[in-house]
Homo-oligomer: A and B are copies of this chain.
Amino acid sequence: MSSTETPPELTARPKRADARRNYEKVVAAAREAFADRGSSTSLEEIARRANVGIGTLYRHFPTRQALLEAVYVGEVEDLCRSAADLAEQPPWDALVAFVHRLVAYLATKQALAAELLDYVDRDAGLFKSSRAALWAAGEPLLRRAQEARVARPDTDLSEVIQMVGGIAKIPTTEPGQMDHILEIALDGLRYRE
């Protein structure tokens, strides 16, 4: 559990071919299963879909979170990287656009949202890389908006993401409603003298 031990990828020999294959099969099956049966799909169901024993699934992914992470982390990172193009836009617009993308994504992945946001203000644990990506993309946007005096200075990215994440988790029926709620909240983020 110490952070000083040698990273496994430098000491361990490469995984066996069958192990890698099964890992991929499980992730693929999980992605499908989460998509069309909801994110509370049982791990046994996923193992069945992947044509893999339950034991194998558990060896690769000791917890449900670990699997969730493997399924979604890549997508979050893509989304964050895609935020690079926002740098050209005006500070406020860029921030708003980023937040909207994030919410749109999270809203479709309730399970991810719930788990990921649990770790937003904790430093350790899973989803560390997602958290890092989120910060790399969001921090500059927020700071720029604050320096341009279009966003209130008395807050930080952690709060913004938590607020926005809370909104993303709202179970709305009407389509435009979440956007409107988000708009209200973002108005609260604006600078006022």
How many chain copies does the complex carry?
A: 2
- Secondary structure at chain A's binding surface: helix, strand, loop or mixed? helix
Segment at the B interface, from A30-38, A53-61, A161-169? A161-169
Residues of chain A from 97 to 121 with CB closer than 8 A to chain B in the complex = 117-118, 121
Residues of chain A from 154 to 193 with CB closer than 8 A to chain B in the complex = 154-155, 159, 162-163, 165-174, 177, 180-181, 183-190, 192
CB-CB < 8 A to A152: which residues of B? 184, 187
- How many of chain A's residues have a CB under 8 angstroms from any CB in B? 32
Q: How far is the CA of A138 from the CA of B21 in the complex (A)?
A: 56
Interface residues of A (CB under 8 A from B): 117-118, 121-122, 152, 154-155, 159, 162-163, 165-174, 177, 180-181, 183-190, 192
